[in-house]
A and B are shown apart, each in its own frame.
Chain A
Amino acid sequence: MRFGAKILDLACLNHFSRVINTIAKLAKTCTLRLTDSKLYFILSDKVANGGVSMWCELCQGNFFDEFQMEGVAAEHNEIYLELVPENLSRALKTAQSAKAVKIKLTNKHCPCLRVAVELPSLTSSSRIVTHDIPVGVIPRRLWNDFREPSVPDFDVSIYLPVLKTMKSVVERMKNLSNSIVIEANLNGEMNLKIETDLVSVTTHFKDLGNPPWASEDGDQSSAEGRDPESMAEARIDIRKLQQLLAGQQVNPTKALCNIVSKRIVHFILLHEDVSLQYFIPALA
């Protein structure tokens, strides 16, 4: 099992740091899956997470100038590592004006991701800051736990409103209630609602647009033949939604959510070279 990669371009490095910062805000611990073409940050839905799950996918070619990996075996050319993304995020903070960053999987005393940041120097000798981030190697027999989640059979799919507005509203609502109801219909309307003994607040978004989903097998999905005015709704933990929105440092190219009434809300945030899916289950 080997892994080594290098980033030389400052823009790519900053972009990669932003992605890691977002992941760090969403998960204390997550799984990093490496293949020869992609990196994945995965959080599978456990009770400990509150049932939240995450799937973030990056094409290594968009970030790394050099990328070499050798998986556990030839037929399974992948590596699964358990890591604390906050550690990686902190290591990359020192790389804000770096000349190069090298990431390597090492096993001196225990498995680590060694992040070596080469900083600019006034003299001819270089300055290198090295961070050793402990990781856990996930054995192949557990890889099935980390499969890509399928898009749920949703009732309504809708583009999200401007994230900045949604973030402000949800942050205020978080002061007032622990849970929030997201409802949306096929007419491009979405409402965010909280209701407590003290206060009820509803924010109405209009003209959001509903993404067209091509039905893979030609069958009618549960979204077809649905009254466009009818709202699909789910009550979710407001802190999870706020964490997702707070973690977005750049406006995504596309942002949408799929709602399975009373079950789960599936968020998809697409940037040019990163896709992030986040699942928040409905509260009982």
Chain B
Amino acid sequence: MPLSAPPAGSGQPYLLSASLDNARHLSSLLRAVHFQDHATCFATANGLRVTVEDAKCIQANAFIQAEIFQEFAVQEESVTFRINLSVLLDCLNIFGTGSLPGTTTALRMCYRGYGHPLMLFLEEGGVVTVCKINTQEPDELLDFDFCSTKVVNKIILQSEGLREAFAELDMTSEVLQITMSPDKPYFRLSTFGNAGSAHLDYPRDSDLMEAFHCNQTQTNR
């Protein structure tokens, strides 16, 4: 079955159709937001946004621009559906998660619209896997209203440095305190645990700092 042609006798055209040479580009992004089983997918001509929420207090968004795909077509202004993210990831990784050099999994994704399953066609080394994942009604998503004019402080860090810091956080502390300031300590992560308080400081001229825009000293827990 050629990966590019939709199955014969389809009738209804696809509302969303996309092709990706290397499915791992998509699966690694989705894995980063996989802290709940369900996700809402929202596709427009700009790309695909996958949102995962927990108890109405955390929201993670993975956005994959249309340019990342070899082909990305959305027939209506936007297409939305809810899907089981664990199942989607198992399907995207059907040929394994180990990334051997020279072997990539090609992906084609198709969605016919409300009530239809999401179809995935994955191919690696001549072996083709076809997945049909049932979709659900999209949920109301939280709108955090991050209006850009109201943003006081913004920092972009290289994630590796943050990852190391998070790994070392004192878990006996009830809160994580985040301080951002145009003056010292610039960016500080603080914990207050059984052994005492710990502070992790990132200077503004640190190698890890990609962007540092702080106007006001602000502390949040």
Contact = CB atoms under 8 A, between A and B. Distances in A.
B133 interface: yes
A12 interface: no
Interface in A158-217: 161-162, 164-165, 168-169, 171-173, 175-176, 197-207
B119 to A, nearest CB: 10
B96 A168 contact: yes
B134 A169 contact: no
A204 B94 CA distance: 12
B134 A206 contact: no
Contacts of A204: 1, 127-130
A203 B96 contact: no
B129 A201 contact: yes
Nearest to A205: B127
B93 A197 contact: no
B29 interface: no
Contact of A202 (B125, B129, B134): B129
B130 A201 contact: yes
Interface residues of B, number: 21
B95 interface: yes
Contact of A172 (B91, B124, B126, B128): B91
A171 B97 CA distance: 11
Contact of B127 (A175, A201, A203): A203
Interface string A131-168: 00000000000000000000000000000011011001
A165 B103 CA distance: 12
Contacts of A165: 95, 124-125, 127
B84 interface: yes
B127 A161 contact: yes
B66 interface: no
B130 A175 contact: no
Given A165-B127, A169-B127, A172-B93, 5 more contacts: A173-B94, A176-B87, A199-B131, A201-B91, A202-B129
